């Protein structure tokens, strides 16, 4: 591609290493990436070594190899994942000596033509095996970061009507805009955005609502918040004051729901990529925190199986608020990638909760959901209202017409 593209890609690598990861001299860097993202992995490796990393350990996933398992693998293969590897990775990440980077560029719907039962079983095996790895990441033991890379498979699904090169170039423009890499000083732009996210976070923490009520566009949902919940957004801090930014882009503030206190009906406003299948027109009804009715226009069976992976998979582990005027929402594009679509609007996540969303010292953790899965599903749209309810039953407007008013 052009020199301009190369310049921007290097800026993305620098942003990821210096601001996203904030890698420390003496740390290793473990990278997971699609094989198609090799170019970015190389640039990130170079930037990581410049920043003092002692080793770069790239681990590539490949669509063709993933598909080979479903096309040619035995039933035993479908139910198997290499737990020993995830245990070793998890133990190492927990030491904080190894930072972790994920490059997001999966092909949406890669497994759409595979048997949904096999897809669900493989997903369950993978979730179970990778638990120690994911626990180490969300447990804030080490600095980590996710950045996007436009793979041919991703671009082809987002802009299906364009020629391959045009689709990739078009998606890159969105990616560079959303990651602020098209701005003269991306880090300064991110610091400015984080200041606004911190303002929202602090206002919500001060309000300490008992529940949030979402209404509009068919949604009428009350999400009870965990007692002692904490709102988080923007960057994170671990260990001895190492600040890092897990997700680039990020536009959300999020907290922990009470696993037993969600009631009503959620109409999901974007298709969800679940276990390699695109689930469209998802509607879920909740009672006592549990999804009691799941319907979808397509992929319903995959969604139903996925949300019954375990007991916690049918309950909420996260609720997040995003302004409808965020750059990603404003693009009007469906990215078919959680890193983008979750930042295009308010969402709730099925499955595992983040312990960091509880204030320190909170002893009663009965409200905290546990699951092998964690899956964000979008409920945001331009007419969504969000109302906070405090312990005295008072109602406080939080968002009106998709925008923050708190």
Order of strands, sheet of 232-233, starting from the edge strand that comes earlier in the sequence: 232-233, 253-255, 316-321, 347-351, 374-378
Q: Which of 73, 153, 264, 327 binds a second copy (CB under 8 A)?
A: 73
103 binds a second copy (CB under 8 A): no
Contact 275, 294 (CB under 8 A): no
395 binds a second copy (CB under 8 A): no
Please state the closest distance from residue 276 (CB atom) to a second copy, in A: 17
123 binds a second copy (CB under 8 A): no
Per CB under 8 A, the segment of 33-41, 302-310, 359-367, 386-394 that binds a second copy is 33-41
Per CB under 8 A, the segment of 2-10, 47-55, 212-220, 305-313 that binds a second copy is 47-55
54 binds a second copy (CB under 8 A): yes
Please state the closest distance from residue 52 (CB atom) to a second copy, in A: 5
Please state the closest distance from residue 13 (CB atom) to a second copy, in A: 11
Q: Which of 55, 163, 396, 405 binds a second copy (CB under 8 A)?
A: 55
CB-CB neighbours of 207 under 10 Å: 14
60 binds a second copy (CB under 8 A): yes
Contact 268, 377 (CB under 8 A): yes
The torsion angles phi and psi of 317, rounded to 5 degrees, stand at -120, -5
Contact 371, 313 (CB under 8 A): yes
Q: What is the DSSP string of 152-169?
A: HHHHHHHTTTS-HHHHHH
Strand partners, 295: 283
Q: How far apart are CA 298 and CA 213, in angstroms?
A: 28
Q: Which is nearer to a second copy, 92 or 357 (CB)?
A: 92
113 binds a second copy (CB under 8 A): no
Peptide bond into 256 cis (omega under 30): no
Q: Which of 45, 107, 277, 352 binds a second copy (CB under 8 A)?
A: 45
Q: Which is nearer to a second copy, 69 or 238 (CB)?
A: 69
Q: What is the DSSP string of 210-239?
A: SEEEEEETTEEEEEEEPTTB--EES-EEET
Q: Which of 1, 4, 5, 68 binds a second copy (CB under 8 A)?
A: 68
57 binds a second copy (CB under 8 A): yes
Q: Which of 1, 4, 71, 166 binds a second copy (CB under 8 A)?
A: 71
Per CB under 8 A, the segment of 49-57, 170-178, 234-242, 345-353 that binds a second copy is 49-57
Per CB under 8 A, the segment of 45-53, 108-116, 155-163, 344-352 that binds a second copy is 45-53
53 binds a second copy (CB under 8 A): yes
Q: Which is nearer to a second copy, 57 or 169 (CB)?
A: 57
Q: Which of 16, 24, 32, 92 binds a second copy (CB under 8 A)?
A: 92
Contact 114, 44 (CB under 8 A): no
49 binds a second copy (CB under 8 A): yes
Cβ-Cβ contacts under 8 Å for 198 (sequence gap 6 or more): 233, 234
CA gyration radius, the chain: 20
**Angle subtended at Cα 352 by Cα 139 and Cα 327, rounded to the nearest 5 degrees:** 85
Q: Which of 10, 18, 81, 187 binds a second copy (CB under 8 A)?
A: 81
Tokens representing 257 are 């729901």
The torsion angles phi and psi of 70, rounded to 5 degrees, stand at -75, -35
Question: What is the four-CA torsion angle of 314, 338, 72, 80, rounded to 10 degrees?
Answer: -50
Interface with a second copy by CB under 8 A: which residues?
25-26, 28, 35, 38, 41-42, 45-46, 49-50, 52-60, 62, 64-65, 68-69, 71-74, 76-77, 80-82, 84-85, 87-88, 91-92, 98
């Amino acid at each position: 591609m052009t020199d301009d593209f190369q310049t921007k890609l290097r800026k993305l690598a620098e942003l990821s290493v210096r601001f996203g990861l904030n890698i420390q001299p003496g740390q290793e860097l473990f990278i997971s990436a699609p094989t198609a993202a090799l170019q970015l992995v190389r640039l990130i490796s170079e930037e990581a070594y410049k920043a003092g990393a002692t080793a770069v350990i790239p681990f590539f996933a490949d669509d063709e190899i993933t598909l080979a398992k479903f096309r040619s693998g035995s039933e035993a293969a479908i139910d198997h994942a290499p737990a020993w590897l995830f245990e070793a990775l998890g133990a190492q990440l927990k030491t904080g000596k190894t930072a972790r980077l994920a490059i997001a560029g999966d092909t949406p719907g890669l497994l759409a033509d595979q048997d949904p039962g096999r897809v669900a079983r493989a997903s369950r095996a993978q979730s179970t095996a990778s638990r120690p790895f994911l626990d180490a990441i969300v447990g804030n033991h080490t600095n980590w970061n996710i950045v996007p890379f436009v793979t041919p498979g991703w671009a082809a699904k987002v802009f299906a009507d364009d020629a391959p090169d045009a689709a990739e170039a078009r998606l890159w423009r969105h990616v560079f805009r959303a990651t602020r890499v098209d701005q003269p000083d991306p880090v300064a732009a991110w610091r400015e955005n984080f200041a606004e996210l911190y303002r929202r976070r602090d206002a919500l923490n001060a309000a300490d609502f008992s529940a949030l009520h979402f209404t509009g566009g068919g949604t009428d949902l009350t999400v009870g918040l965990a007692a002692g919940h904490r709102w988080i957004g923007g960057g994170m801090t671990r260990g001895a004051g190492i600040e890092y930014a897990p997700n680039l882009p990020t536009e959300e503030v999020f907290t922990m729901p009470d696993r037993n206190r969600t009631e009503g009906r959620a109409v999901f406003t974007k298709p969800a990529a679940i276990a390699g299948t695109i689930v469209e027109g998802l509607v879920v009804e909740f009672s006592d925190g549990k999804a009691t009715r799941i319907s979808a226009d397509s992929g319903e069976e995959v969604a139903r199986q996925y949300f019954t992976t375990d007991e916690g998979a049918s309950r909420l582990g996260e609720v997040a608020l995003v302004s409808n005027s965020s750059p990603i929402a404003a693009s009007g594009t469906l990215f078919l990638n959680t890193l983008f679509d979750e930042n295009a609007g308010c969402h709730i996540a099925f499955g595992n909760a983040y312990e960091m969303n509880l204030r320190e010292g909170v002893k009663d953790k009965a409200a905290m959901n546990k699951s092998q899965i964690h899956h964000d599903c979008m409920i945001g749209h331009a007419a969504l209202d969000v109302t906070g309810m405090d312990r005295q039953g008072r109602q406080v407007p939080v968002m009106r017409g998709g925008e923050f008013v708190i």
